[in-house]
Structure 1
Amino acid sequence: MYETVPCRELGMMLRYTDGRIFVTEVIAGSQAEADECVLAGDIIDGINGISLRNAQRGEAQTVLQKLRGKPLSFRMIHWKWHDGAVYGPMLPHLQLMQKEIPNFQLRYDIKSNEVMQEDGLRDDRLLYSLRYLGQVNVGMYGGKEVLDEGIEKVLQKNLAPEDVLLDVKETEVICIKNNSTQVFFHHHYPEISSVGHRMDRQTLFAYCVADSPETPQTTSFDCLVYESSSVKEANEIITRIAAGFRHTEWFV
């Protein structure tokens, strides 16, 4: 299953072959690339419970138009098996598609084991081990300009840090207490307005989140501050969160 936020363009190029809908390309910089859940060569089997087996040309676009502005849940058939090899039942489909697109090639991009060992794993998901330093309300404006101020105010509180795990998912960010299932925070990307770090201490980063997104005219923003073990990890988290809410779109 691949779940994603409402957005203008997911960034998947599709091809209809033998009643199946193939992803032939994941466009660089798109929501689909940022979510890292789809590979060129995968099949879209259904969208929001609507089956797309034996699909006619244009059927996926018709379904997506009807679901415009809603979160999307794709049922995908991956061509890649757990060990990185081609999933056996996909071979006939892939061979047929390769006849139609002679220059199509599968990409075997796999994150290194070194990266996987640096971070935590829970339920086969990659989680970041961080220290949560606290939060502060920054008023009616939640742009990147207030992040420095928010971080400084949290540091001045001198609160005891909490060891947490941050799960940057396809549609949301979840903060979990370390060695526990207790959820500290659960923020969907439409609630997040900015993310970034201190230039003088780049292992510290923060994001601003609306405290009442259901009433945007009167909402104020909270700034949540975290500390990472490395600048590289902090930058990776910032990039992933930014990609998530940058592709998010409000529909009225």
Structure 2
Amino acid sequence: MPRLGFGVYQNYATKDSVLLALQAGYRHIDTAQAYKNEAHVADAVRESGLPREEVFITTKIISKFHGYEKTVKAVDGSLEKMQLDYIDLFLIHNPHAGPALRLETYRALLHYRTLGKIRSVGVSNYGVHHLEEIREAGLEKPSVNQIELHPYCQQREIVEYCREKGMVVQAYCPVLRGQMEHPVFEELASKYGKDKAQILLRWSLQKGYVPLPKSATPSRIHSNANLYDFELTAEDIAELDALDEGWNPVGAA
């Protein structure tokens, strides 16, 4: 899995944006059934001329399709929409359907992995109790947990659990939905000659996360990928870590 992803939530020019992202060097695209743009993502990958195996594609199953049989239909639907033989990573988008249905969904996704139609199975917006539910059911751990992560929302208990269990942590909203007005961000952007989004994405990478920035702006798509010619110091990281507000958007569902 490439360490930097490109998100397409609420992107109304998905195909063009994904093409630009692939040209800018991204090789990891994150979509979902709920975004209603899976087909546009796949069209862009085909039009890019890149070999399919060079682009890592993630999608997610929404809670209204949870349950074994519904999941089977939903996975087939995503494959059909995208006209793909397989999807690299399929996530349960959220745990809102309740324990029984989300475990059925997880089992169905694991079955599709044995068929070769899914390469990896993971979850999104899962707290520790949701992850423990999978373990207690005797099922293998998810490969990924995708959660909201940025300096204001660090979800440390969930991150620590995932690290202990060997799960990759993906970070959505890594640039704070564009709300980056804080003196620390300004200070570090000035120090490194970078923009604030690049500072936040570099923090995410150095924390070991897989950040998923999204944008439909060509200049931003390029700048968000330009992260590898500088490195934050331990002091910089600590300064950003200190901004955690301790809130947990996962909830107790």
Normalising by structure 1, we get a TM-score of: 0.29
* Bigger proportion of residues as strand: 1
Query: Which has the larger Rg?
Result: 1
* Bigger proportion of residues as helix: 2
